[in-house]
Amino acid sequence: MPAHSAATACSDKSPTFPSDTAGQVFRRPRRWMNQKGQLQPTGTEFEMIKLQDALRHAAERPDRVALVDGGRRITWSELADEIAKVAGGLAAVLPEGRPARAAFLCCNGWELVVTTAAFETLGVPITGLDFEASAEATADALEQLRPTVVVSSKLHRPLLIAAGWADREGVLQVHLHGVGEELAAPEPIVPNPQAGEPVAYSTLAAAQTAVTAPISQPYESFAVSYDAAGSPRLVIRRRSYEARRLAELVDEFAFDEDDTYLVTVPMYHASSPGWARVFFALGGTVVLGPYHDLAEMCRLITDEGVTATLMVPPVLSRLLAHPASAELRETSRLRFLLTGGQHLNRWIVNEAWDRFGPVLHHYYGSTETGLVTVLGPDELALSPCRSGRAMPGIGIAVLDGEHRPLPPGVRGRVAVASYQLMDAYGDAPAPSVLVDLGDGQGPRPFLLTGDDGVIDYEGRLELTGRTAGAVRARAAGDRDAAFFGLETELLDQPAVRDLAVLRVNVPDHGPVLAVPFVPVARDLEAAAYRAVSAVCARRTPWIPAHVIPVDAIPYSPTGTIRTGELLTEIMPLVNLYIHLDKQSATEIPA
Amino acid sequence: MTTPVPPHTPEDELEEADLEARLLLLERALTELPAARQTAILIGEIPDYGDLLLVAFVPADAEREESTQRAARAACARLVPVLPALVIPVDDIPYTLDGELCGQQLFDEMLPQIARDMLLPKEMSA
């Protein structure tokens, strides 16, 4: 393969680092760099936020808000104080097992941020687990990680119990307070608590124990990546890249201590703490946002003066469609809106430009590779929605089946060379191959990703999809087969003018069929009701059906039933029927 | 972009890899629809019918729902002619909190409409 024809995209714009003297100097000196543009040593490298970094920011701007969570606003001095207390408490109860590792299973919250920072202050890696995963996947992830401490909140503790990790011998359980829970009264701290005997956050924070030096163990950081089947894989890194990543991002996007970052992704996802710690490290403000409440998200963007955020495309799409986001162009300070993933549509790109101006950036990266490409708003408006340019210090190659570089314009498997790459999947080494790009540097290790892509003649990578293929779903055997014929038979009933069958999952109850129907005449409503109920009971006896007369079935212009509109109309009645059914069931003697 | 569109073979006997390539092209075409807020592609396995290409989209507004559906149908017919396709507008597409498509949940939610779209014309004409 001629050197000039290999499809690679690699940025050589590297800043100067203590361990990397070959790159260029930063464009402008910054507060945490010396006059040569080198990173000032801070004792340890940047992670989420460590006590020493919090203390440094507290000394400079003690009253500046560091963290916002609902109605709670924590200044830098308060945050440093809280991290110190919790780190001291943790040091007193940390199990003796080594290597010390922590896992958490809880939603975003200020206590989680403080606890995470306390663990990192102690040199204990802490890893988030997906609380939407199954009990089997959670147990598998925990078995791979083998944590010595598990942090959980009440809401997600049932998952921990189902996974069999709520009372493991030698594993410390730390309980955080969930939303709406009252703070537990602090208790005297007891070293080496019994298995299954938890330590509450309030107890740790009240321990009044001095922070000890970080424990002595080799550096490791972990993340859990889930494959298409939902099986977890432990991603391991044995060198920290945070300092360099921070410097690259600041150099590229000019973030500083006046920035306010909104968190919209759960902390268990690697990108969420990854971006939050950029702004913590700079001494900025981090706002913990809700996952689903879009009106509240819009309010936070305006009221907290959010300047940067990361949203997955589905959330961004819903936000842009929400009426409350219409005013954000006038009211928000947002200047950096990052999104990434397969589900970015042109509508989102266009609408984001209309509502926020030129702020939308698209990234490509994964737990295994870290941040790989970013495309700014100008190019994104003109390029395919899944394009990106390599970040500084990152190399991209598109390879054929025999791991040879492909020329521009030809689709192949994406491979990445980066200082952010993982080292191993559990006990297995990372799937790397040596690739010679023909640039005179000889063969270099590239990590093979699970993605297909193509590099265009301008050096942009366009993702064309996952090598895992399309998402498949199937009807659940005989039950769905019966369900298929149900609607047809129902519409054949002579007293029914129109009808819809909706399968609804009712919280705390389970799935039910909601069957709104329009009778052909008012005086035939009772007959139609009886007929529809009888057909449902005969064809789908395993699922309770609630048959409800309505004036009309709403349709979209394409003839699709407007499910949301219909459910809004009938769900109060469905809920009433469910309630009455339960009531009558309890009243009838056995 | 220079990615070539695979030729349409009259036999439609495509290898799985070719099907995947066509699906990726379709996915790209759908993301470029100007009036679709979100789009998702599924291969649904339907009892007694086999595989079905399912395209769910969230229309940006009701006025352009019909034209978006026509455009999506045309893209399906042009790029993945090997599979019968249903293009269904939905209120929302379910994703996990970190942005992964919940394929089975979407399929379950679309099932009544799939049944309606697939079975009614057939049984009415029988």
8 A C-beta contact, residue A89 and residue A189: yes
| A149 CB-contact burial (10 Å; exposed 0-12 / middle 13-18 / buried 19+) | buried
pLDDT band at A441 (very low <50, low <70, confident <90, very high): confident
pLDDT band at A584 (very low <50, low <70, confident <90, very high): low
Helix/strand/coil for B3: coil
Q: Which residues in A398-435 are b (16+ Cβ under 10 Å) and which e?
A: bbeeeeebbbbeebbbbbbbbbbbbeebeeeebebbeb
CA dist list (Å): B70 to A175, A325, B66: 53, 29, 6
Question: What is the mean pLDDT of the segment spanning A35-40?
Answer: 38
Quote the pLDDT of residue B122. 44
- Asked if B112 lies within 8 A of A313 by C-beta distance, the reply is no
Helix/strand/coil for B108: helix
Q: In percent, how much of chain A has pLDDT > 70?
A: 83
Quote the pLDDT of residue B86. 93
Tell me which chain B residues have a C-beta less than 8 angstroms from the C-beta of A491: 120
Q: Does A335 touch chain B (CB under 8 A)?
A: no
CA distance B116 to A499: 11
pLDDT band at A338 (very low <50, low <70, confident <90, very high): very high
8 A C-beta contact, residue A192 and residue A95: yes
pLDDT at B124 over 50: no
Residues 53..112 of B with a Cβ closer than 8 Å to A: which? 54, 58-60, 62-63, 65-66, 69, 88-93, 95-101, 103-104, 106-109, 111-112
Quote the pLDDT of residue A309. 96
Quote the pLDDT of residue A480. 65
pLDDT at A241 over 50: yes
Residues 251..290 of A with a Cβ closer than 8 Å to B: which? 265-266, 268-269
φ, ψ dihedrals at A300, nearest 5°: -65, -40
CA distance B85 to chain A (A): 14
Cβ count within 10 A of residue A238 = 11
Residues 132..171 of A with a Cβ closer than 8 Å to B: which? 132
Question: Chain B: residue nearest A291 by CA?
Answer: B97
Tell me which chain B residues have a C-beta less than 8 angstroms from the C-beta of A485: 115, 119
Quote the pLDDT of residue A47. 58
Question: What is the mean pLDDT of the segment spanning B68-86?
Answer: 93
Quote the pLDDT of residue A195. 62
Quote the pLDDT of residue A499. 86
CA distance A84 to B97: 31
- Asked if B3 lies within 8 A of A454 by C-beta distance, the reply is yes
Quote the pLDDT of residue A59. 94
Query: pTM for the whole thing?
Result: 0.79
pLDDT band at A196 (very low <50, low <70, confident <90, very high): low
Single-letter amino acid code for the residue at A218: P
Question: What is the mean pLDDT of the segment spanning A306-312?
Answer: 95
Q: Does B48 touch chain A (CB under 8 A)?
A: yes
Question: What is the mean pLDDT of the segment spanning B75-95?
Answer: 92
Residues contacting B17, CB < 8 A, separation 6+: none
Least confident residue range of A156-165, A194-203, A468-477, A543-552:
A468-477
Quote the pLDDT of residue A415. 93
Q: Which residues in A314-343 are b (16+ Cβ under 10 Å) and which e?
A: bbbbbbbbeeebeebeeebebbbbbbbbbb
> A62-111 pLDDT, tens per residue?
999 999 998 899 999 999 999 999 999 998 888 887 889 999 999 999 99
Lookup: tokens for B90: 């939905």
Q: In percent, how much of chain A has pLDDT > 90?
A: 41
pLDDT band at B116 (very low <50, low <70, confident <90, very high): confident
Helix/strand/coil for A143: helix
Q: Does A382 touch chain B (CB under 8 A)?
A: no
- ipTM, interface predicted TM-score of the complex: 0.73
pLDDT at A58 over 80: yes
Task: Pick from A107, A342, A343 the residue to mutate for testing the B interface (most B CBs within 10 Å).
Answer: A343
CA distance A564 to chain B (A): 7
Least confident residue range of A184-198, A292-306, A542-556, B14-28:
A184-198
| Bridge partner list, A33 | A39
Cβ count within 10 A of residue A510 = 11
pLDDT at A313 over 50: yes
Strand segments, DSSP code E, in A289-335 are 308-310
Better pLDDT: A472 or B44: B44
> A219-236 pLDDT, tens per residue?
999 999 887 677 898 999
Quote the pLDDT of residue A429. 83
Tell me which chain B residues have a C-beta less than 8 angstroms from the C-beta of A347: 33-37, 60
Residues contacting A101, CB < 8 A, separation 6+: A124, A125, A126, A127, A145, A146, A147, A148, A149, A220, A222
Tell me which chain A residues have a C-beta less than 8 angstroms from the C-beta of B109: 503, 563
8 A C-beta contact, residue A304 and residue A285: yes
8 A C-beta contact, residue A443 and residue A404: no
Quote the pLDDT of residue A436. 85
> A116-166 pLDDT, tens per residue?
999 999 999 999 999 888 899 999 999 999 999 999 998 899 999 999 998
Q: What's the mean pLDDT when you consider all of chain A?
A: 83
